[in-house]
Every structure is written in structure tokens, then in C-alpha cells.
Amino acid sequence: MKVKRRIVKRGRIEIIPLIDTIVILLIFYMTFSRFSEAQRESALKLPESRAGDEFKMLPQQIIVNMYSSDEVSIGGVKCKVAELPAIIRNYYANLANTAPDLALKLKAGEVKPSIILRGDRKMSYRDLSDFMRVCAKTDLREFLPANSAPGITEVTFTAQEVR
């Protein structure tokens, strides 16, 4: 009896669909990496304003995304507004390891600690008031020049340009 030999198909890589897929993945990661790097949450609905400068983040600034006093997020970490002082202190304490030059500039008073507040438009004044009080109470004097004010004195509010 004649045994039929099984035909083995040779696998080969299709170049054109491979290039298409790589380009799509490249666009996807390029688009989203920009927003993750900036610590900005796109789900948040910012209030609208006409005035203001182009959004720019300075190296000593922390972005706080705030939906309400009970729903705040910093760098993707969810917390409550009452927990902010510990997180902010931790951030400036870690600067000595992560960005020693910046820590020295802070200590010399060349730059000031600052927060960028990205508040949701549905947030209330009660929430904003809680946030401001927490900023004023956060004691960062050990990272700042002697006789500095204890709290954070500079806050940048962000808003969406009116279309």
C-alpha cells in the first residue's frame, strides 16, 4: 500500500500586516504615554475659562486630580484630601534621592513648592476650601529655607479653554 506523505506547510511572516500592526501600536502608545507622563486624568471634567496661559508643569510641581474631598488622586494613587499632607511631605522628602538638584534649589529658596489643582467642575466650594486648608497646613519647612511659611503658598488652577 502506498502511504501518502503529509504535506508540511512552511510558515512565513507576512511583512505588510506586521508593519500595519506595529504602526497602530506605536500611535497608541505615543498618544497615551504623553498623558500618563503628565499625571493628568482625562476622565476629569475641568471647568471652563477664557483667561490663562498654556499648561506647563514645573519640575517642583505636583498634580492633584480632585473630584471631591473624598476622591483625590495623585499620580494614579487614590486618596482623601485629609491624606494629602502625608503624601505631599513624602514627595518632597523623596526629592533628595530622586532629584537632588531640585531638593537643593528648594532648600536655597530658588524654587517654591507648588501644586497644580485639576478640579472637577462639579466639585463644590466646600471641597476646594478643604483642599486649600490642607495645603496651608502641610508643613514643609524642613525642605525649605529657614523662616519660610509652613504651608504650600502657590497653587495653579487648571481649566479648559472655552471652545
Partner 1 sequence: MKLKRRITKRGRIEIIPLIDTILILLIFYMSFSSFEAKEKRIDAKMPLISKTMTPGTQFELDLTLHVYNQSNILVNGASYDAEGLREQMKLFTTTPDQPVTVIIEGEPDTNYQAIISALDACAQAKLTKVAFRPLPEKAAAPAAAPAAPAP
Which positions lie near partner 1, rule CB under 8 A?
16, 20, 23-24, 27-28, 31, 35, 40, 42, 46-56, 116, 119-129, 132-133, 135-136, 151-161, 163
Question: Which residues have CB under 8 Å from 48's CB, separation 6+?
Answer: 121, 159, 160, 161, 162
We find the least distance from the C-beta atom of residue 115 to partner 1, in angstroms, to be 9
Q: Report the residue number, 36 or 55, with the smaller CB distance to partner 1.
A: 55
Please report how close the Cβ of residue 41 comes to partner 1 at its closest, in angstroms.
12
Q: Which is nearer to partner 1, 51 or 77 (CB)?
A: 51
Taking the complex as a whole, the smallest distance from the CB of residue 31 to partner 1 amounts, in Å, to 4
Question: Which residue, 96 or 128, is less far from partner 1 as judged by CB?
Answer: 128
Rounded Cα–Cα distance for residues 57 and 62 (Å): 8
Query: Least separation, in Å, of the C-beta of 13 and partner 1?
Result: 17
Q: CB of 99 within 8 A of CB of 111?
A: no
| 3-class DSSP assignment, residue 33 | helix
Taking every pair of Cα atoms in the chain, the longest distance, rounded to a whole number of angstroms, is 101
Q: Which is nearer to partner 1, 46 or 96 (CB)?
A: 46
Say if residues 127 and 97 touch (Cβ distance below 8 Å). no
Cβ proximity of 46 and 121 under 8 Å: yes
